Chains A and B, each alone.
Chain A
Amino acid sequence: MYKAEVRGPLILGNKDYGQITRDIIAPIDNKTPGWWKVAMAVSITLASIGIFSLYYTVRYGLGTWAVNNSVAWGWEIINFVWWIGIGHAGTAFSIFLLILRQKWRTSINRAAEAMTVFAVMCAAIFPAIHMGRVWLAFYIFPYPNTRGPLWVNFNSPLFWDFIAISAYLLISASFWYFGMVPDFASIRDKAKTKAKKAIYGMLAFGWTGSTKEWLRYEGLSYVLGGIAAVLVVSVHSIVSTDFASSVIPGWHTTLFPPYFVVGAIFSGFAMVMTLMIVIRKYYHLEDYVTDSHLNAIAKILVFISLIMGTAYTTEVFMAWYSGNPYEMFTFFHNRLTGDYSFMFWAMVICNAVIPQVMWSKKVRSNITALFIISLIINLGMWYERFNIVVTSLSKDYLPSSWTTYSPTWVEIGIYIGTIGIFTIGVLFFFRFIPMIAISEVKSVLKPTEISEKH
């Protein structure tokens, strides 16, 4: 009974250690594929649109956006929260599954962490540009200055956000990078050209794989892992307090921190699924990212989808149960019905209803279906943020200040641009970095051999 395998082999195809190294670094050694060049051209075009829109905003000011006195936060905050949410997956994968000793994470964590770094970079653009005068963004740093000498407001969630995102970017980037150091050394030692040996040698920081290095390496991963677990929860909780500490109906609720954190992990896992399906298909890494991996992610998504459904229901219930007329109005006349009811129902259907089809094993083993559902979830999570940001602001306490909001081309352009920046990052990752953590995959190659010894 104790020898029963709970999970099948994590890596298929009877690989040996050498084969794993060769398989994973093959995309770096091979010629750049045609589809990669096309995807890069498209991404650069999208990024250029974004850069032009950013230039236009800086040149002519925030008047080029559709935000106004009532809807003071528009697409920029929606997209900020959306990207930050996507950025939670890497750490969720690396940290939570590391702490829970889930060995199947080893095939996926590298790509998830890469995604985190690029998504957080995209997210950071939005609050910065939303400041209006982005060239004065350094005012937010707490240092003794000649402007008062006032300090920044240490009690403001907006300042917490700035620090939390900076910390998150640093910690996820360093976790990602130091995870890659042993793999860079593998590439260095197998490199056939001098240039490659020099470049990857520089990136490998002189790694040799001695016990002295592995001991500290393990220490570093557990320390960073432990504190990043706290950070994952606190970053999105802080993002939610940007909303929840206000008095706007629909925002002022204690449900927000867990609701945001779970939502973030939901969209992040969905994006991981999208990315892993692409990697698997285009780089033929089916032996590493197996059906069982996708099945496991799908099961997590179904579970989180249920939590999302519960959160949506709880919000509506609490609006009714509180007896607060403004809350009631926001939920029953400006979300479930009203100008933006499409966004509300699209959110419910994409996030809480459609993912339920993954209860079926047939769906979980259909890669095309999983790919489509993962995209639908990310779309749904965007609708959720639109729903939160715009509906509450558009109609608050004073009917005289009610207004509607739809974005201008500049706002849409910046969003498109961040998608381009994200995909450029991901494409560079595909091309030049081992997409799967080589040393970690090797460590889970023969779990049976290890368990027999104990």
Chain B
Amino acid sequence: MNTTHIIGVFDSKSDLLAGIESAKSKNITIDEIYTPYPVMEAIDALGRKSRFTTAAFIYGFAAVVGVLSFLYYTSVIDWPINYGGKPTNAFPSFIIITLVLTILSITILSLFTFSVRAKIYPGKKYILPDERSTDDKFIILFDKKTAGAGFEAISATLKANGASEVYEKEV
């Protein structure tokens, strides 16, 4: 369902940061920020946190345990082979293959996690409030219902802090 949004357009990162700062100081709730490249300050301003690295560590740990168990199963339980009396659980020579298979597992699972969490996948129907944000503009999006201020107030605040344009749109 489309709702009315207020869109603030900025030409540079420093203007965008000033705009975010001013909106926050007036207790105006920002819905989302769209930038042509990653702006960490904008991400922090929205209080967004990612547990991506923790997830990757868990994947890695699970993969190490999984691969070593698999190697133990194949080499000791399922089909032990006697190479001149050497132990069937040839652990040190399992290390390299474990490392590589762990990396492979982390890669596949991380890509999957990224796709699910960031909702980036083939054929996705996307909503982009202002197409210029993938080119040269920095966009702040306010939901009119939840922003906590009207169009006039938001527009005045943003324009006083470097916004090149402020307009309303159904998104």
| Partner-B contacts on A (CB < 8 A) | 16-18, 21, 142, 148-151, 154-155, 159-160, 163-164, 166-167, 170-171, 174, 178, 181-182, 185-186, 188-190, 202, 205-220, 222-224, 227-228, 230-231, 234, 238, 241, 439-440, 442-443, 446, 449-450, 453
Contact = CB atoms under 8 A, between A and B. Distances in A.
Given A17-B135, A167-B104, A450-B13, 4 more contacts: A17-B136, A160-B100, A208-B126, A230-B103
A223 B136 contact: no
B34 interface: yes
B127 to A, nearest CB: 7
A442 B36 contact: yes
Contacts of B132: 189
B132 to A, nearest CB: 8
A222 B111 CA distance: 12
Most buried by A among B101, B121, B137: B101
Interface in B132-148: 132-137
Interface in B56-104: 56, 60, 71, 74-75, 78-79, 90, 93-94, 96-97, 99-101, 103-104
Contact of A160 (B78, B96, B118, B120): B96
4 tightest A-B contacts by CB? A206-B124, A219-B52, A17-B136, A206-B126
A154 B74 contact: yes
Interface residues of B, number: 62
Contacts of B137: 17
Interface of B: 12-14, 32-40, 42-43, 46, 48-50, 52-53, 56, 60, 71, 74-75, 78-79, 90, 93-94, 96-97, 99-101, 103-104, 106-108, 110-111, 114, 117-128, 131-137
Given A150-B79, A151-B79, A208-B133, A224 B107 contact: yes
Given A18-B136, A211-B48, A154 B97 contact: yes
Contact of B96 (A17, A142, A238): A238
A212 B48 CA distance: 7
Contacts of B97: 154, 159-160, 163
Given A17-B136, A214-B35, A227 B106 contact: yes
Contacts of B101: 163, 167
Contact of A186 (B38, B48, B78, B134): B134
B144 to A, nearest CB: 18
Contacts of A206: 119-121, 123-126
Contacts of B111: 174, 178, 220
Contacts of A449: 12-14
Most buried by B among A167, A185, A186, A211: A211
B164 to A, nearest CB: 13
Given A151-B79, A160-B97, A439-B37, A18 B43 contact: no
A163 B104 contact: yes
B100 A164 contact: yes
A189 B96 CA distance: 45
A208 B100 contact: no
B122 A443 contact: no
A218 B93 CA distance: 35
A149 B79 contact: yes
B35 A163 contact: no
Contacts of B131: 189
14 contacts: A151-B74, A163-B104, A181-B120, A185-B134, A186-B36, A205-B121, A207-B126, A209-B133, A210-B34, A211-B34, A219-B114, A223-B52, A227-B107, A234-B99
Given A155-B90, A160-B96, A206-B119, A189 B134 contact: yes
Contacts of B53: 219, 222-223
Nearest to B102: A227
Nearest to B74: A151
Contacts of B96: 160, 234, 238, 241
Given A18-B135, A231-B100, A209 B120 contact: no
Nearest to A175: B107
Contact of A21 (B13, B33, B90, B136): B136
Most buried by B among A174, A223, A228: A223
Nearest to B108: A170
Contacts of A185: 134
A167 B63 CA distance: 14
A450 to B, nearest CB: 8
B36 to A, nearest CB: 5
A339 B134 CA distance: 60
Nearest to B125: A206
